[in-house]
Amino acid sequence: MTTSRMILGVATGFALVLAIGCGSKPEPAPAPSSALEPDPKPNDPSSASPEQKAVVEAPKAGEPKVAWELDADKHVIPAAPVRGSIAGVELVPEVAVTNDDLAFRLTKPGALMPERSVSIKFPAGQQSLGRNWKVKGGDEPGPKVPEVWIEVQGQPIHLHPSGYAMTLELGARKDGKVNGKIYISLPDKDQTVLAGTFAADYTRLHTEKPGSDEVPYVTGEVTVTGAPASAELRVAYAAFLPTGPVAFKELQLAADPLPIEQARWTSDNEKPRSSTLLPGDGKARPFRYEHAKLPPGRYLLSAAVTGGPAVWKWVDVAATGTLTENFTLDASKTGGLEITAPQGATGKVFLAPADEPNRPTLDARLFEGISIQVVRTEVEVIGGKAIVKNLGPGRYEVRLGDERRFVDVVAGKTAEVNMTPPKK
């Protein structure tokens, strides 16, 4: 039997924090002087820390073994953490659950994959969480009997479509966990058995949207056209919170023809909030992003092609908000700016997505940080002019020193902006 596995990249991550609140007056921290680096890519081991595995407690010496019992009516689930044996090895497993399966695993320190596991595969199309399961040894295979896999590294997978006994109680998902109880006895030669209580880590499948335990969240698709095949997509947010710092977050991936469930990348190094990017395939499948468990506030969401234009939207994220914001990014449709500087002026021109007119003016260093994150463009004034090309259509705020202007960029055209102060 051929099996496929989902590889979930958990990046060590990066979030730049500026110690300034939106509309407040504290001393701001320096803005970045160069382009922000996105979280290390999941396939770049040189830049990412090893994924932290759950600590699995070994069975206590002298503790009686869990009784193997193929009569489900005799199951008495102990009020203690689940333990038992898998393929002849006594253990206290780590437990993980999705809507598709429940897995009990033993992972050795430093290993990427479990050394051995028992996985209960829930029947397709049925509710798996928030219900009880009772399977008796004489039950026939079918939609009421989950298939059970025993996996040991280096050995064939042992499938049990029936012939085992199981008593399973699964609670609802809450705060990324699913509480439950189990007693399961399998008819393999080693008489695998597990019994006890657990709080399983819940992993969402790629087909699932964030749940009620992950609000507030923002999710959406990014459709990219007109970009080189080698270009990568960068998704980001800048969070302006009522209290506390302003935080920047970025994820960046290339299009990937692999099935989307094998290529997704989640960065959760800033718990409780997390961000996920699922790549497009370079053809019909769009990229998909999620930012979950966000603190409420004002957010600048953006998506950009590396070396190319950006699209964006300012949004308000409420305490229980669930937003869907889709973007369409055509890298071939860009505009430009020709900026006229005051006589004798020098320095850099910065531009960033304009917020609504009634919003507070951003501090200069924070504005530069937004410019670097989203637009990735800073242009020197030369001979009284600054030319900016390859801009995505939209309304921008332009700054040169203390002067600020607002301008609309249209694809295929170059807008003109005069930064000369008005005569007094």
- Whether residue 274 lies inside any domain: the answer is yes
Taking only the tens place, the pLDDT of each residue in 382-407 is 999 999 999 999 999 999 999 999 99
In the chain the first and final C-alpha atoms are separated, in Å, by 81
CA angle 18, 15, 402 (to 5 degrees): 35
The alpha carbon of residue 342 and the mean position of all alpha carbons in its chain are separated, in whole angstroms, by 45
- Asked whether the beta carbons of 205 and 261 are under 8 A apart, the reply is yes
Q: How many domains does the chain have?
A: 3
pLDDT at 188 over 90: yes
The alpha carbon of residue 191 and the mean position of all alpha carbons in its chain are separated, in whole angstroms, by 39
- Whether residue 233 lies inside any domain: the answer is yes
Say if residue 154 is in the same domain as residue 216: no
**What is the rounded CA–CA span in Å between residue 249 and residue 373?**
9
- Among all chains, which residue has been given the structure tokens 């001393």? 27
Question: What 8-state DSSP symbol labels residue 402?
Answer: T
- Whether residue 184 lies inside any domain: the answer is yes
Q: Would you state the pLDDT for residue 189?
A: 97
Q: Which two tokens stand for residue 154?
A: 């280096």
Q: Which two tokens stand for residue 37?
A: 């680096």
Mean pLDDT for the chain overall: 86
Q: Would you state the pLDDT for residue 210?
A: 86
Q: Which two tokens stand for residue 376?
A: 């990735």
Q: Which two tokens stand for residue 309?
A: 């234009």
Say if residue 166 is in the same domain as residue 283: no
Of 148, 183, 202, at which residue does a domain stop?
202
Say if residue 368 is in the same domain as residue 321: no
In this predicted model, which residue has the larger pLDDT, 47 or 302?
302
- Asked whether the beta carbons of 129 and 99 are under 8 A apart, the reply is yes
| Pairing of β 414-418 and β 94-97 | unpaired
Residues in a beta bridge with 388: 337
Question: What 8-state DSSP symbol labels residue 241?
Answer: -
Of 167, 202, 237, at which residue does a domain stop?
202
Say if residue 352 is in the same domain as residue 316: no
**What is the rounded CA–CA span in Å between residue 153 and residue 126?**
30
Mean pLDDT in residue range 103-118:
92
Residues in a beta bridge with 391: 335
Taking only the tens place, the pLDDT of each residue in 255-279 is 988 877 666 777 777 878 889 999 9
Q: Would you state the pLDDT for residue 287?
A: 96
**What is the rounded CA–CA span in Å between residue 19 and residue 313?**
23
Taking only the tens place, the pLDDT of each residue in 322-348 is 999 999 999 999 999 999 999 999 999
Range of the domain at 221: 207-330
Say if residue 99 is in the same domain as residue 172: yes
Q: Would you state the pLDDT for residue 96?
A: 94
Write the CB contacts of 12 (distance below 8 Å, at least 6 apart in sequence).
39, 40, 47, 48, 49, 269
What sections of 21-88 are H helices per DSSP? none
Number of C-alpha atoms within 13 angstroms, CB side, residue 345? Answer: 22
E-state strands within 87-216? 89-91, 94-97, 101-106, 116-121, 131-135, 147-152, 158-160, 165-174, 177-185, 193-202
Say if residue 352 is in the same domain as residue 375: yes
- Among all chains, which residue has been given the structure tokens 């999620």? 290
Say if residue 107 is in the same domain as residue 194: yes
- Whether residue 107 lies inside any domain: the answer is yes
pLDDT at 23 over 60: no
CB atoms near residue 38 (< 10 Å): 21
Amino acid at 143: P
- Whether residue 374 lies inside any domain: the answer is yes
What is the Rg, in whole angstroms, of the alpha carbon atoms belonging to the chain? 27
- Whether residue 16 lies inside any domain: the answer is no
Taking only the tens place, the pLDDT of each residue in 135-163 is 999 999 998 899 999 999 999 999 999 99
Say if residue 250 is in the same domain as residue 270: yes
Say if residue 352 is in the same domain as residue 269: no
Say if residue 127 is in the same domain as residue 105: yes
Check which CATH number belongs to the domain holding 389 and give it. Answer: 2.60.40.10
Residues in a beta bridge with 91: 84
